[in-house]
Structures are given as structure tokens and as C-alpha cells.
């Protein structure tokens, strides 16, 4: 059968920019190809394919079209595409899958002409479904699908999740060459070593997505399989930097710590040369484990620190303390590993004093405060917080975009002011992130230069200079945000005329500040991160997104 | 007043940019001639680095989009 697997183009990139492959599509494509189907990947979100062109491509007589719907912002573009396909006469089976599709299968099946929703992990479901369609059988009993039955009711047929991940085919890498050519700085090479998570953070849907019979699950691939896949990527694409996109690579749980240590030892035993980034929980940062990981190539760790106060951490079901965050960051920096610290500044239970605590704590930590200061909890279906907000009647909006009512009206005003005044800081945040990745990759004191970072090997200087710039930038951003807090404290009711005048002045100041720092960052890039001859500097002048 | 020439590719310049706002503003606002007066050496690499820095433009978004806190990086 001819199969198209699709990710729709985004209407507005915002912070949901697609700069790397979709492993979801890659895993599905590999599974379908393994049983003889001909599969085309159409990742329009990654390739910025215009909708009309994608539509033309999908009118190419496919027998099955599957859409990946991982987040709410893709709902509308995906539904519109499906409607247009149907209007153009496409009558093949059209399915959709992903986190958002799974938790909103009722809304999707009610509001659009999808034939089915592939729930949860979908490799086995899609393979079985394709086989039944190919044979002309009745696909409506396929385990793992949600669908409208003959009487028009929406029903879901359960499927047991596969126990072992090593049985899965490695994901198809149809888009990797494109990423390496077009987004060499933004695009990481994603690899998945495990699925699921033991924890139950209130803002996260991962547990609900993977749990079995109400129990949390965490399944890992064997270390050998992961390293064989990475070696294959190195051999075929000359890549040198891997991003582990696991929901939980490492935590305080003994199973994950043991796995991480086995992984590091095996990298060293095999003498494989690559750098990598992982996510870890704050309380999973143990010096001895991370020494080993550092030796094997770990360069950057994403830490979901979330908040600087015990009560907010508890409300998010995080069981570490602010002092643990500081200790984890210190340990990582001592070892020469970059901590990438994120937090959720605005949550449903945040009060004004929490915003001040976050500002002070994360600024003093010398974390990039932009990576959290303007984070506001997103209400995703499937999360514990969605359930509790729904129960208390404080969810606002309609599918697919939900919000919540702030418990502290002063926090709502602060968020309103940030939204209106700090647009310029958004761009600055993007640039800091990009240069964090670029400088982290540039530091590669392992044996043999990386094929893709030749000329930059071994220098810590760009990272240290970037850290210096971030400290300065933090001071300015802290001042800007403190102005918001001061204003709200003075005028908790936010009189209209005062708000307008305040926003106008603050916006101007934010633009000036952001513009200055953007130039300083570009100067750092041009002087310390542009490998090779002067001609390479000329490319930087056009900016990072000029392809 | 005489200035010791500095090169914008010198790490010391970046460190000063991090702490001295007026220096930051002067450096990016000055013409090549004015930079010479400020004691900034305008080597070919410096010139290109400064041009690259000045080319940095903000997209001018007025509304800050709600930052997405997405933990579901891979999904099926």
C-alpha cells in the first residue's frame, strides 16, 4: 500500500518551532516499511512546506494517510487539511495520532472527517490497521483505535502496550539530511532510549500516555541497541551530537541511574565519539553518575526546576526543594556540563510573592531566566492539573486551546503586562538558546575532531563568554520584570490609563534592551563561533534563519 | 584622549559588553570612523563581526506568545 505520514505546517511557529525530525513519524514509517508498505514522510512543519504544496503532494493517490498531532497548536491546520483532502475527493483511510489526538479523540472524531484516531503508542496499531485495509477486511475492531461505530457512537478499542522496545525498528531518518543541511545550528539529532515516566508531575501528560492499568511505566531500550543506532547515524550522516528526547532519561530512581551508568560505560568501552544532551530530574543529579556521563560525552542537561518555592513545587507534585536545584546546577557546572534550567513562572496557584521568589532565585543561579520567566502553565488534556482544574470549574477556553483562571488577580495582571510589553524578549530568548546549543557543540575535547565542528574543537571560551553575557542579560531582564512586579504591587487593580502608559514605556525599554543584547550575542557568534575564514562571518550577517 | 586600541573579537570586549550598557550602546551605534576615535581597531574580522551584530534585527512581536511548556517531545 502507498502510505503518507504527515505533520501539518504550523500557522505560527512561536515557540513550537520544528527544527528536528519527528521521531514519531520516523518510528511509524519504519514499522510500516518493515511489513512491505511504501511510505512517504511529509513533515511540512519541519520543512515549512506551504499548505497548498502539501495538499498537492497528498493528492497523489495514497491508500492511507496518517497525521501526527502532538500538540494543540496543530489541531486546526490538521483538521483544515483533512477537510480539504475530503473536498478534493480523497476517500482513503485517514488516521491521526499523538498526545493531543489521544486525549482529544472524541473531539477530533466529532469535529472532522478522520476515520480513526490511533491511541497512545501506535506502531503496532498502524501496522495491524494497514494489513486489514490492504486485505479489504473490517478494520473497526483494530485494537488501539478510537472510531465512530456503525451507530455513530465513538468507541475506543484497547490495546496492550508492547513490553520491549528493542523489538521496534529504528526510526526512519528521511528528514535527517535535510535538517543537517538546512538547520545545522538549530537541529539536534534526536534519539529515544526509553519511553514513559515514573513520576506524576501535574502539568505533564506523559504518565497518562504510557501507564498500564493505572500504573506508571518506564521501558528502556538495551544500551547496545541505542549505541548501535547512534553508530549507524554517525556512519551514515557524520553526526556528532545527539539529543536524547526521552521523557525521563535519568532521575533519582535506581533503575534510571543504573541505566545511565551502563550507557556511559559502554560508550567508553566501545570508544564511541559523540556528545549528547539529556533531561534529568533535579534530584537525579549525582556527582559520580554525572562524572561518568561527562567522560562519555555528556555536554548539556535539561533540568525542569519549575519553581523556587516549596509550596509551588509541591503543587506541581515535585518532591525536591529549591536548595536541591542550586546543588544540582553547582554539581553540573563543577563537572563542566551545561545546565539548561527551566521553570514555570506562572501556575494556577502562583501568587505575586512567588514571582518575586522565582526572579531572585533563578537570577542568582545565573540560569538563563528567559527560559522560564515567561512560561505559563499550558492546560493539556491528560494531565492531573487539567483534571483538577476541570473539577474546580477553573478551566477556560474550548478545544483545542484551554486556559485557566489565576487564583491571584495580581498574577493575572503581571502576566497581562508581560504579554503586552515583552514581545522583544521572545526573539532574544530564541537567540540565547541557539547560541547555547552552538557553543555547547563547539566544545568537544574528545579524541578526533567532529566532522561537523572542525575548527572549533576543544574551546571552552565561547561557553564561558556566553555565560558572561547571560549574566549581564539576566540583570537587565531582572530589572524589567521587577518593574512589572513593582507596578502590580503599587496598583493591583491596574487602572486602564496607568496600564497603557506603563506598557508603552516598558515595551520601549524592552525593545532597546533586547536589541542591544541581540547585537552582543551576534558579536560573540561572529568573533568566537564562526569557524574558519572570514567568509563564514558573512553568512552570519543574514541571521540564523537564512537558509 | 588616547585610547589603547581594542579589537571587537577580543573576549575582553564581550566581557565589558556584559557589564557596561553605555559601552554596548556606543559600540553598536558608532560608525567605523567613530569607532576609531573610541580606540576600537577595525580589522577585517572586527568589521565583519560588527556588521553581523548590527544586522541582528528583532522580529518586532508585540504580543508575547504564551510560552509552551511541552514535556511531550516525542509522541505517537
| A:B CB pairs within 8 Å | 182
Dist CA A517 CA A91 (whole Å): 53
Angle at A476 between CA A470 and CA A479, to 5 degrees: 135
Q: Is the pLDDT of residue A546 over 60?
A: no
- Interface contact B64-A14, CB threshold 8 A: no
Residue A155, all three cell numbers: 468507541
Return the pLDDT at B6.
Answer: 67
Return the pLDDT at A477.
Answer: 95
Q: pLDDT for A76-105, tens place per residue?
A: 999 999 999 999 999 999 999 999 999 999
* Interchain contact B41–A (C-beta under 8 A): no
For residue B14, give the nearest of A98, A380, A523 by CB distance. A523
ipTM of the complex: 0.82
For residue A519, give the nearest of B45, B54, B59 by CB distance. B54
DSSP assignment of A194-219: EEE-S---TT--HHHHH-BTTB--EE
Q: Is the pLDDT of residue A137 over 90?
A: yes
Q: Between A214 and A132, name the one with better pLDDT.
A: A132
User: With left for phi above 0 and alpha for psi between -120 and 50, is residue A361 left, alpha or beta?
Assistant: alpha
Residue A65, all three cell numbers: 494517510
Enumerate the β-bridge partners of residue A191: A244
Helix, strand, or coil here: B30?
coil
* Interchain contact B29–A (C-beta under 8 A): no
Residue with cell 534510571: A256
Return the pLDDT at A254.
Answer: 93
Least confident among A306-310, A431-435, A465-469, B15-19: A431-435
DSSP assignment of A52-101: HHHHHHHTS--SEEEEE--SGGGHHHHHHHHHHHHHTT--SEEEEESHHH
- Interface contact B70-A378, CB threshold 8 A: yes
Q: Is the pLDDT of residue A15 over 60?
A: no
**Which residues of chain B make contact with A468, given a CB cutoff of 8 A?**
14-15, 18
- Interface contact B56-A16, CB threshold 8 A: no
With residues binned 3-state (H G I as helix, E B as strand, rest as coil), the percentages for chain B, rounded to 5, are 45, 5, 45
Q: pLDDT for A497-543, tens place per residue?
A: 789 999 999 999 999 999 999 999 999 998 888 765 555 556 665 55
In which band, very low, low, confident or very high, does the pLDDT at A13 lie, cut at 50, 70 and 90? Answer: low
Q: How far is CA A71 from CA A17, A156, A399, A481, A498, in A?
A: 12, 21, 12, 29, 37
Give the chain A residue nearest B52 (alpha carbons). A541
pTM (2 decimals)? 0.88
Residue A415, all three cell numbers: 502576566
Please say whether the beta carbons of A180 and A237 come within 8 A.
yes
Q: Cis check for the bond before A400: say yes or no (omega within 30 of 0).
A: yes
Share of chain A above pLDDT 70, in %: 91
- Measured in residues, chain A has a length of 547
Return the pLDDT at B72.
Answer: 31
Give the chain B residue nearest A462 (alpha carbons). B11
Q: pLDDT for B42-55, tens place per residue?
A: 677 778 888 888 88
Dist CA A436 CA A367 (whole Å): 12
Return the pLDDT at A536.
Answer: 59
In which band, very low, low, confident or very high, does the pLDDT at A2 lie, cut at 50, 70 and 90? Answer: very high
Enumerate the β-bridge partners of residue A396: A403
Please say whether the beta carbons of A116 and A90 come within 8 A.
no
Q: At what angle do helices A496-524 and A409-421 cross, to 10 degrees?
A: 50
Dist CA A30 CA A264 (whole Å): 27
Q: Is the pLDDT of residue A290 over 80?
A: yes
Q: Select from A472, A480, A511, A534 the residue whose CB has the most chain B CBs within 10 Å, as the one to mutate to test that interface.
A: A472
Distance from CA of B38 to the nearest CA of A (A): 17
Q: Is the pLDDT of residue B4 over 90?
A: no
**Which residues of chain B make contact with A519, given a CB cutoff of 8 A?**
24, 28, 53-54, 56
The DSSP code for B67 is B
User: With left for phi above 0 and alpha for psi between -120 and 50, is residue B73 left, alpha or beta?
Assistant: alpha
Please say whether the beta carbons of A414 and A366 come within 8 A.
no
Q: Is A111 exposed, middle or buried (0-12, 13-18, 19+ CB in 10 A)?
A: middle
Q: Select from B41, B57, B71 the residue whose CB has the most chain A CBs within 10 Å, as the one to mutate to test that interface.
A: B71
Return the pLDDT at B63.
Answer: 55
Q: Between A109 and A538, name the one with better pLDDT.
A: A109
**Which residues of chain B make contact with A537, given a CB cutoff of 8 A?**
45, 48-49, 52
User: With left for phi above 0 and alpha for psi between -120 and 50, is residue A49 left, alpha or beta?
Assistant: beta
Q: List CB contacts of B47: < 8 A, sequence separation 6 or more.
A: B32
Neighbouring C-alpha atoms within 13 Å toward the C-beta of A391: 6
In which band, very low, low, confident or very high, does the pLDDT at A544 lie, cut at 50, 70 and 90? Answer: low
- Interface contact B17-A520, CB threshold 8 A: yes
In which band, very low, low, confident or very high, does the pLDDT at A388 lie, cut at 50, 70 and 90? Answer: very high
In which band, very low, low, confident or very high, does the pLDDT at B61 lie, cut at 50, 70 and 90? Answer: low
Amino acid at each position: 500500500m502507498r502510505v503518507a505520514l504527515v505533520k501539518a505546517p504550523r500557522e505560527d511557529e512561536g515557540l513550537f518551532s520544528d527544527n528536528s525530525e519527528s521521531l514519531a513519524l520516523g518510528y511509524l514509517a519504519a514499522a510500516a516499511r518493515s511489513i512491505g508498505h511504501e511510505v512517504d514522510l511529509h513533515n511540512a512543519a519541519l520543512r515549512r512546506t506551504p499548505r497548498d504544496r502539501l495538499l498537492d503532494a497528498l493528492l497523489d493517490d495514497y491508500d492511507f494517510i496518517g497525521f501526527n498531532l502532538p500538540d494543540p497548536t496543530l489541531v486546526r491546520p490538521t483538521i483544515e487539511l483533512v477537510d480539504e483532502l475530503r473536498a478534493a475527493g480523497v476517500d482513503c483511510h485517514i488516521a491521526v495520532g499523538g498526545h493531543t489526538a489521544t486525549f482529544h479523540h472524541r473531539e477530533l472524531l466529532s469535529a472532522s472527517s478522520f476515520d480513526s484516531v490511533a491511541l497512545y503508542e501506535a506502531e503496532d496499531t498502524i501496522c495491524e490497521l494497514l494489513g486489514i485495509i490492504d486485505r479489504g477486511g473490517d478494520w473497526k475492531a483494530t485494537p488501539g483505535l478510537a472510531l465512530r461505530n456503525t451507530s455513530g457512537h465513538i468507541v475506543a478499542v484497547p490495546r496492550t502496550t508492547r513490553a520491549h522496545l528493542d523489538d521496534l525498528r529504528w526510526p526512519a531518518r528521511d528528514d535527517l539530511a535535510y535538517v543537517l543541511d538546512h538547520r545545522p545550528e538549530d537541529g539536534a539529532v534526536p534519539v529515544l532510549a526509553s519511553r514513559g515516566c515514573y513520576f506524576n508531575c501535574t502539568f505533564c501528560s506523559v504518565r497518562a500516555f504510557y501507564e498500564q492499568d493505572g500504573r506508571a511505566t518506564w521501558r528502556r531500550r538495551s544500551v547496545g541497541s541505542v549505541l548501535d543506532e547512534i553508530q549507524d547515524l554517525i556512519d551514515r550522516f557524520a553526526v556528532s551530537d545527539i539529543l536524547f528526547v526521552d521523557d525521563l532519561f535519568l532521575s533519582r530512581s535506581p533503575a534510571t541511574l543504573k541505566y545511565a551508568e551502563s550507557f556511559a560505560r559502554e560508550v567508553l568501552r566501545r570508544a564511541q565519539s559523540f556528545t549528547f544532551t539529556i533531561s534529568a530530574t533535579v534530584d537525579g543529579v549525582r556527582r559520580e553518575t554525572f562524572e561518568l556521563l561527562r567522560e562519555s560525552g555528556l555536554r548539556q542537561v535539561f533540568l525542569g526546576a519549575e519553581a523556587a518555592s516549596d509550596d509551588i513545587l509541591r503543587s506541581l507534585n515535585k518532591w525536591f526543594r529549591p536548595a536541591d536545584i542550586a546543588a544540582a546546577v553547582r554539581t553540573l557546572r563543577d563537572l563542566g556540563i551545561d545546565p539548561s534550567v527551566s521553570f514555570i513562572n506562572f501556575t494556577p496557584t502562583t501568587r505575586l510573592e512567588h514571582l518575586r521568589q522565582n526572579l531572585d532565585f533563578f537570577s542568582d543561579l545565573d540560569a538563563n531566566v528567559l527560559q522560564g520567566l515567561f512560561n505559563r502553565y499550558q492546560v493539556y488534556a491528560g494531565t492531573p492539573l487539567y483534571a483538577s482544574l476541570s473539577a474546580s470549574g477553573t478551566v477556560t477556553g474550548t478545544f483545542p486551546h484551554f486556559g485557566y483562571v489565576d487564583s491571584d488577580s495580581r498574577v493575572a495582571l503581571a502576566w497581562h503586562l508581560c504579554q503586552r510589553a515583552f514581545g522583544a524578549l521572545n526573539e532574544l530568548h530564541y537567540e540565547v538558546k541557539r547560541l547555547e546549543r552552538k557553543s555547547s557543540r563547539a566544545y568537544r575535547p574528545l579524541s578526533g575532531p567532529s566532522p561537523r565542528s572542525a575548527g572549533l574543537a576543544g574551546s571552552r571560551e565561547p561557553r564561558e563568554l556566553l555565560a558572561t553575557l547571560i549574566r549581564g542579560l539576566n540583570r537587565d531582564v531582572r530589572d524589567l520584570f521587577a518593574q512589572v512586579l513593582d507596578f502590580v504591587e503599587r496598583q493591583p487593580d491596574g487602572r486602564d490609563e496607568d496600564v497603557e502608559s506603563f506598557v508603552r514605556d516598558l515595551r520601549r525599554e524592552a525593545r532597546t534592551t533586547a536589541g542591544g543584547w541581540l547585537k552582543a550575542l551576534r558579536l560573540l557568534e561572529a568573533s568566537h563561533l564562526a569557524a574558519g575564514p572570514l567568509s563564514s562571518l558573512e553568512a552570519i550577517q543574514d541571521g540564523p534563519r537564512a537558509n | 584622549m588616547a585610547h589603547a586600541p581594542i579589537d571587537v573579537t577580543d573576549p575582553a570586549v564581550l566581557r565589558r559588553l556584559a557589564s557596561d550598557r553605555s559601552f554596548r550602546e556606543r559600540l553598536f551605534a558608532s560608525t567605523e570612523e567613530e569607532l576609531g576615535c573610541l580606540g576600537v581597531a577595525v580589522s577585517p574580522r572586527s568589521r565583519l563581526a560588527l556588521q553581523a551584530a548590527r544586522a541582528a534585527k528583532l522580529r518586532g512581536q508585540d504580543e508575547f506568545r504564551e510560552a509552551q511548556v511541552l514535556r511531550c517531545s516525542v509522541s505517537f
